[in-house]
Amino acid sequence: MFRRALQFSSGPGLLFQRLGTRRSSSILGKVEVGRGYGSWVPTASSFVTFRAYAGRTVGLLREEGWDGKVSKIKKTIQSILPGKTRDSLYNTSHLPPEHSDVVIVGGGVLGLSVAFWLKKLEKKQGAIRVLVVDRDYTYSKASTGLSVGGIRQQFSLPENVQLSLFSINFLRNINVHAEYLAVVDAPPLDLQFSPSGYLLLASEKDAATLEKNVRMQRQEGAKVCLMSPEQLRNKFPWINTEGVALASYGMEDEGWFDPWSLLQGLRRKAQSMGVLFCQGEVTRFVTSSSRMETSSGEQMILKRICEVHVKMNHSLEYQPVECAIVINAGGAWSGQIAELAGIGKGPPGTLEGTKLPVEPRKRYVYLWHCPQGPGLEAPLVTNTNGVYFRREGLGNNYLGGRNPTEEEEPDPTNLEVDYDFFQYKVWPHLAKRVPAFKTLKVRSAWAGYYDYNTFDQNGVVGPHPLVVNMYFATGFSGHGLQHAPAVGRAVAEMVLEGHFQTINMSPFLFSRFYLGEKFQECNII
């Protein structure tokens, strides 16, 4: 049960305390709280008791040197006398509501996109109450703000190409009236989109796969071309083509943008549409269960989440929120959130024992300066061994890095940067591919998390087969930011209509983990 300390302040203010439920009465009166606000209402029979109790409190405050608090206490008491204007004693605006139709766990770009599309696609305005819960509104460790912000169509699966095409169209029209993220009387969003394209380099061993991927990407509508080493040297003379057999280049709707602007734009728009926000941590799900027998006679237990417990920051108190739907958009921590609902805790080899295979993987991004480096025409380049870089701004600065091998995976319990990784695993390959980078100087670096799907490095979208009202929007292993507009719509369609409409996301369902059917995305950068 939710327990809340009702108090004026720290110190002697603790003397004036009442622990109660959300809707409780006491000898001092009753607390009425609804929709995240609260007020204390005195009852006729309790006023004398309250006056005596408050008087003793004021006396104690004087004795202990808290004179500055006394006037506040008196004013508060006077405000609730009969005939006086009643003020709220206790601020509960930080608390989530008691009820919400949908609770979204995770306030990053994927969670915000789901919130936006739920409100945009609802049949009647204001019909759906949506609550977004996130642990940290500063987003200091969130994957969104720490991303390099790339968007591309050069994937190995048609569905990922379709997600990219939808998302780039969304980003291009982001300020069109109120259709997307425009807000009345608010300045337009500036995503600082740089349409410089992606350039993927392939060795002789990978050339056939690259050519096959480009053929598929073109069929899906992406404007991608193949380039020979000679064409590569003519267009980008600063590239050393040694070891390059073939390259693919995105001629349109590829490049990079500012992730922070997209996140803030989604949040601003969601708030304008009535989405509620709460800073806190989900610590528990209360579920109900029912038995089901399959056509083969197998007994299965279906669960439904009835209540989400949200723990307030820097506090022991928590708030239960009754709900109908839970969206797991917890990014790198979505596997832990799934476990709270009992997912993966059954016998091994069963659907009940199948975990959500998403975990945090730490990735480094380095910023360096090179006065003689590639100019404004430089795309985001991915080398044959996975080392990548792109321009950052107009001052000959560059961002880049490389995904480590399984043996090189760093400790994900912190976000400390390993500069030796750049020195020995990144820089030699950069200097070989772009000779000008031999003289680069690293200026800074940071680390962020991938919501890494260890099964097939692809997204998880849609409902869980046994926890029937938990839906996923996670596991994209580094390309969740660029696909967020499309994924948010797909999840909203599944919640509201019961099936995918815009893009068929069936291959992304959770059930593939139990069935062992990998939906492998090969182009992970």
pLDDT in tens, 147-170: 889 999 999 999 999 999 999 999
Measured distance CA(459)–CA(482) in Å, rounded: 12
pLDDT at 507: 96
Model confidence at 125, in pLDDT bands (50, 70, 90)? confident
* Mean pLDDT for the stretch of residues 118-146: 86
Model confidence at 178, in pLDDT bands (50, 70, 90)? low
Model confidence at 199, in pLDDT bands (50, 70, 90)? very high
CA 410, distance to chain mean position in Å, is 22
Q: Which residue has the tokens 């380039």?
A: 227
Measured distance CA(388)–CA(400) in Å, rounded: 5
Q: Which residue has the tokens 């642990």?
A: 135
Q: Report pLDDT digits (tens) over 405-447.
A: 999 999 999 999 999 999 999 999 999 999 999 999 999 999 9
Measured distance CA(407)–CA(28) in Å, rounded: 63
Model confidence at 246, in pLDDT bands (50, 70, 90)? very high
Model confidence at 72, in pLDDT bands (50, 70, 90)? low
Which of 24-38, 91-105, 257-271, 293-307 has the highest mean predicted lDDT (pLDDT)?
257-271
Of 64-73, 140-149, 253-262, 393-402, the least confident: 64-73
Q: How far is the CA of 17 from the CAs of 5, 9, 10, 57, 87, in angstroms? A: 6, 10, 11, 10, 18
Neighbour count for residue 75 (Cβ, 10 Å): 10
Query: For the chain, first and last CA: distance in Å?
Result: 46
Three-state SS for 253?
A: coil
Measured distance CA(469)–CA(306) in Å, rounded: 9
* Mean pLDDT for the stretch of residues 33-61: 40
For residue 160, which of 470, 423, 490 has the smallest C-alpha distance?
490
pLDDT at 350: 93
Share of the chain above pLDDT 90, in %: 70
What's the farthest any 2 CA atoms get from each other in the chain?
A: 93
Measured distance CA(328)–CA(335) in Å, rounded: 9
The amino acid occupying position 148 is: V
Question: Which tokens in the block code for residue 397?
Answer: 């600065």
Measured distance CA(335)–CA(340) in Å, rounded: 9
Q: How far is the CA of 388 from the CAs of 186, 201, 414, 439, in angstroms? A: 36, 10, 23, 17
* Exposure class string for 193-215: b at 16+ Cβ within 10 A, else e: bbbbbbbbbbeeebbeebeebbe
- 470-474 and 318-328 strand pairing: parallel
Given a cut of 90, is residue 469 above it in pLDDT? Answer: yes
Mean pLDDT of the chain, nearest integer: 85
Measured distance CA(339)–CA(302) in Å, rounded: 15
The amino acid occupying position 452 is: Y
Measured distance CA(451)–CA(458) in Å, rounded: 10
pLDDT at 93: 65
Q: How many CA atoms lie within 13 A of 113 on its CB side?
A: 29
**Torsion on CA atoms 231, 236, 241, 247, rounded to nearest 10:** -60
More confident residue, 64 or 93: 93
Of 89-93, 396-400, 418-422, the least confident: 89-93
More confident residue, 425 or 69: 425
* Mean pLDDT for the stretch of residues 170-182: 82
- The CA-CA-CA angle for residues 230, 233, 236, to 5°, reads 145
- Does the global pTM surpass 0.85? no
Is the Cα dihedral 127, 128, 131, 137 positive or negative? negative
DSSP secondary structure, 101-131, as one string: EEEEE--SHHHHHHHHHHHHH-SSTT-S-EE
Given a cut of 50, is residue 10 above it in pLDDT? Answer: no
For residue 352, which of 252, 464, 269 has the smallest C-alpha distance?
464
Measured distance CA(464)–CA(355) in Å, rounded: 11
Contact 224, 249 (CB under 8 A): yes
pLDDT at 270: 96
Of 7-21, 140-154, 216-230, 487-501, the least confident: 7-21
Given a cut of 80, is residue 66 above it in pLDDT? Answer: no
Contact 31, 24 (CB under 8 A): yes
Given a cut of 80, is residue 11 above it in pLDDT? Answer: no
- 130-134 and 99-105 strand pairing: parallel
* Mean pLDDT for the stretch of residues 464-482: 96
Neighbour count for residue 489 (Cβ, 10 Å): 26
pLDDT at 208: 96
Q: Report pLDDT digits (tens) over 308-334.
A: 999 988 778 889 999 999 999 999 999
Given a cut of 90, is residue 475 above it in pLDDT? Answer: yes
Share of the chain above pLDDT 70, in %: 82
Which residues are 311's β-sheet partners?
281, 318
Neighbour count for residue 418 (Cβ, 10 Å): 17
* Mean pLDDT for the stretch of residues 280-302: 88
